[in-house]
Chain A
Amino acid sequence: EADIYQTPRYLVIGTGKKITLECSQTMGHDKMYWYQQDPGMELHLIHYSYGVNSTEKGDLSSESTVSRIRTEHFPLTLESARPSHTSQYLCASSESRGDVNIQYFGAGTRLSVL
């Protein structure tokens, strides 16, 4: 069982609100990730981090931003939520075992913007 936690699990908010999705891991992993997943679709990488003060945009363009001030914490922020942001957001962290990068996922936050 991976020690990676996401809050809230579910969030319903109105358009224009600022929101922050929390992600924390207690495994001491340097690499962390945010994915976006729509129902029945594949996960798309939207942000990743190699470590403290390192953040990069992923393959899928996103209006969200992230920060990595502490190793264990990788929050995602939407300054002004819109209905198009409705989706499931999954956070992950990873460790390396030889050449293999093992990713552990949180339970996800299901966001609905009205």
Chain B
Amino acid sequence: KNQVEQSPQSLIILEGKNCTLQCNYTVSPFSNLRWYKQDTGRGPVSLTIMTFSENTKSNGRYTATLDADTKQSSLHITASQLSDSASYICVVSDRGSTLGRLYFGRGTQLTVWP
């Protein structure tokens, strides 16, 4: 069964600190992995997308890593800001269908305190 597991479920950090969110997946055949940021009551917004051959990708203060051998990914947030408070969702796409089916994790709820 294709699954995406994220940890921790929730995380509280102080403004200015760094944090790392984890994602493990069993989706196969693997196509790509995305990290989305979802603010409360809003739709997800894409942060990074990585294909099989990419090990790391950055988007400002967000850096995602991918180890396709161990099927693990991480999202590192540097110098956190209050606006980083959101749910961060790991999404894995397979390449077994034209649709490019997406498998969603439950997200890590990040809260940044001043």
Contact = CB atoms under 8 A, between A and B. Distances in A.
Interface of A: 6, 31, 40-45, 48, 50, 88, 90, 92, 94, 96, 99-108, 110
B19 to A, nearest CB: 19
Given A99-B51, A100-B93, A102-B49, A45 B42 contact: no
Interface of B: 4, 31-32, 41-46, 49, 51, 89, 93, 95, 98-102, 104-107, 109
Contact of A31 (B32, B93, B99): B99
25 contacts: A31-B99, A40-B106, A40-B107, A42-B89, A42-B106, A43-B104, A44-B104, A50-B99, A88-B41, A90-B43, A94-B100, A100-B93, A101-B93, A101-B99, A101-B100, A102-B46, A105-B43, A105-B44, A106-B43, A107-B41, A107-B43, A108-B41, A108-B42, A108-B43, A110-B41
A42 B102 contact: no
B105 to A, nearest CB: 6
Given A41-B106, A42-B107, A43-B104, A48 B99 contact: yes
B5 to A, nearest CB: 10
Contacts of A90: 43-44
A108 to B, nearest CB: 5
B95 A99 contact: yes
Nearest to B52: A99
